[in-house]
Structure 1
Amino acid sequence: MPRPFPPVEPYASGLLAVGDGQRIYWETSGNPDGRPALCVHGGPGGGGRRASRTLFDPEVYRIVLFDQRGCGRSLPRAADPATGLEHNTTHHLVADMERLREHLGVRRWLLYGGSWGSTLILAYAERHPERVSEIVLAGVTTTTPEEIDWLYHGLRRLLPGPWEAFRDALPEGERDGDLVAAYHRLLNSPEEAVRLAAARAWCAWEDAVIAHEALGRPGYYGDRTDDALLAFARICAHYFTHRAWLADG
């Protein structure tokens, strides 16, 4: 992905309490008096990739990044099995974005994101259209049941070897059903070794998929720390098992 603007560092950051014992990490960079632009990361559970700052002219934009619940620098971390995910849903994240907007004193902002981020942006914009000035989406995903099924089952037609490895990392009796639900169970196992093996297998599949995209690269997901792998995979499986709490269509 082209990086047209030079790297910038945040001039402000913090942890915002959003309820349910959750605190989300946020940061702002660029022009404090510029046009507000919120970068909404993918995953879910991917954490804010800081390189997103360089997509915006720092002289023109007030660039806001945040880590969604349970991932990145937000607390508590979903990598910890003691961290419940019952307060981590699409509706909670929409509410968090609105709290962040109010906290930063933003009236309206541009929303930028891709993949899962595009789903969350659209959900927020439908809930709070008066707070959105523009929307820029890349790699558009709406997290429908059909999309989830294609990513974790249908793509075996194009990537049979990596998909078989993804399937075969599951216990033998769970390889013929809902793979996402089976991984969800493993990623919430009381045994750390089971959780970590499942997270690594999940991210190996994600890497195999994205490596074939025009802007993808090998290791995009798998090159993270164990904690980040666990948070990402556990949150993904949690959201996709529940179809992102969104009505189809």
Structure 2
Amino acid sequence: MQTLYPEIKPYARHELAVEAPHVLYVDESGSPEGLPVVFIHGGPGAGCDAASRRYFDPTLYRIITFDQRGCGRSTPHASLENNSTWHLVADLERIRAHLGIDKWVLFGGSWGSTLSLAYAQSHPERVLALILRGIFLCRPQEIHWFYQEGASRLFPDYWQDYLAPIPADERGDLVSAFHKRLTGADQIAQMHAAKAWSTWEGRTATLRPNPQVVDHFSEPQRALSIARIECHYFIHNAFLEPDQLLRDMHKIAHLPGVIVHGRYDVVCPLDNAWALHQVWPNCELQVIRDAGHAAAELGITDALVRAANQIARKLLDLPPEEV
């Protein structure tokens, strides 16, 4: 099994102002002359961490990580102002131009796969390849499955804690009910709702219980940005037209790619990856049999590290790595 590369520190950090009030945190690590790859984190609202740059061979890749609007080290924290899918697509272009990159590899998981597809379909000429995990197409049925009814039947015990901040008479539309609290003036109610929303995601993200993943999601500052920004996006259908990402795959179907998806992914069920694969014949679909949604699961990590090596060696015309 392939594991993450050893920890490395960035060789450059940037604070990039975009539309007010947002300032993005961006860093670079690995080889300055390497193959450019951008790590596109999930959520929306989760931010990057030290592990984000460790999927890539630092001798082959120039690794760019950044925190999307309102999360991580970007400021202001948990801000919903000027925060939409298309703002983030524009931010990626701004980062690419700022760093003097002509084309790059996109590496995105969960919401990161959504944003990767939206960016690639908007700027196909700037993309070399895509490595995607836990495909999330942000269709209404996917949001309904996880936040209203579906996954609730598999985890009724965790679901009760998710429901706790919402009165019974408001549970017919849970996204709207959470949105009301997450954007309201009552900060105690806001944090209560944020913790319930984000902890539900952390508890269901892995096939086997993983307290570290749950703790990561439920840390108060991260929980607030995840819950507020996700709910803001989902109440607006991620600012996408119906089936937009599948509809527009013809724009990037020629690009090489790898999809890694857990067989037992409850957050983003496997039919998302299957539907994408049907309209993207140039990609390789890897179904990880003993995994759920999280990148931290051993089988997912192994597949992602191997995919990154495979793509780098193909694009750099290097011999395949010896196993």
TM-score, length-scaled by structure 1: 0.92
Tell me which moved more, 141-150 or 220-229.
Answer: 220-229
Please give the alpha-carbon distance, in whole angstroms, between the structure 2 residues aligned to 1:154 and 1:52: 30
CA contact (8 A) 2:56 2:63 kept: yes
Please give the alpha-carbon distance, in whole angstroms, between the structure 1 residues aligned to 2:212 and 2:188: 21
Please give the alpha-carbon distance, in whole angstroms, between the structure 1 residues aligned to 2:214 and 2:90: 27
What's the offset of the Cα at 1:166?
Answer: 1.3
SS at match of 2:105: strand
SS at match of 2:18: strand
Q: Residues 65-104 of structure 1: matches in 2 within 5 Å?
A: 65-78=65-78, 83=79, 85-104=80-99
Work out which of the residue numbers 188, 212, 226 in structure 2 matches 1:232: 226
Give the percent of matched residue pairs that are identical in Structure 1 and Structure 2.
Answer: 47
The match for 1:42 is 42
The match for 1:25 is 25
SS at match of 1:70: coil
Work out which of the residue numbers 155, 165, 168 in structure 2 matches 1:169: 165
What's the offset of the Cα at 1:116?
Answer: 0.4
SS at match of 2:211: coil
The match for 1:202 is 197
Work out which of the residue numbers 168, 172, 175 in structure 2 matches 1:180: 175
Letter in 1 for 2:169: G
Please give the alpha-carbon distance, in whole angstroms, between the structure 2 residues aligned to 1:115 and 1:22: 23
Letter in 2 for 1:113: G
Determine whether 1:246 maps to 2:244. Answer: no
Work out which of the residue numbers 152, 158, 166 in structure 1 matches 2:154: 158
Note closer, same or farther for the CA distance 1:2–1:234 as it changes in structure 2 (3 Å cut).
Answer: farther
Note closer, same or farther for the CA distance 1:221–1:23 as it changes in structure 2 (3 Å cut).
Answer: farther
C-alpha distance after superposition, 1:203-228 (max 9, x if no partner)? 22112211336xx7235254454222
Tell me which moved more, 162-171 or 91-100.
Answer: 162-171
Q: Residues 90-169 of structure 1: matches in 2 within 5 Å?
A: 90-152=85-147, 153-169=149-165
Letter in 2 for 1:53: R
Letter in 1 for 2:54: T
Letter in 2 for 1:172: A
Letter in 2 for 1:70: G
The match for 2:5 is 5
Tell me which moved more, 139-148 or 121-130.
Answer: 139-148
CA contact (8 A) 2:19 2:82 kept: no
The match for 1:16 is 16
Please give the alpha-carbon distance, in whole angstroms, between the structure 2 residues aligned to 1:19 and 1:180: 27
TM-score, length-scaled by structure 2: 0.71
Tell me which moved more, 116-125 or 196-205.
Answer: 196-205
SS at match of 2:134: strand
SS at match of 1:54: helix
Q: How many residues align?
A: 241
Work out which of the residue numbers 176, 181, 190 in structure 1 matches 2:185: 190
Work out which of the residue numbers 203, 211, 214 in structure 2 matches 1:218: 211
Please give the alpha-carbon distance, in whole angstroms, between the structure 2 residues aligned to 1:169 and 1:150: 19
RMSD: 1.6
Note closer, same or farther for the CA distance 1:231–1:43 as it changes in structure 2 (3 Å cut).
Answer: same
Unpaired runs of 5+ residues, structure 1, are none
CA contact (8 A) 1:200 1:222 kept: no
Please give the alpha-carbon distance, in whole angstroms, between the structure 2 residues aligned to 1:200 and 1:127: 34
SS at match of 1:220: helix
Letter in 2 for 1:48: C
Please give the alpha-carbon distance, in whole angstroms, between the structure 2 residues aligned to 1:41 and 1:217: 20
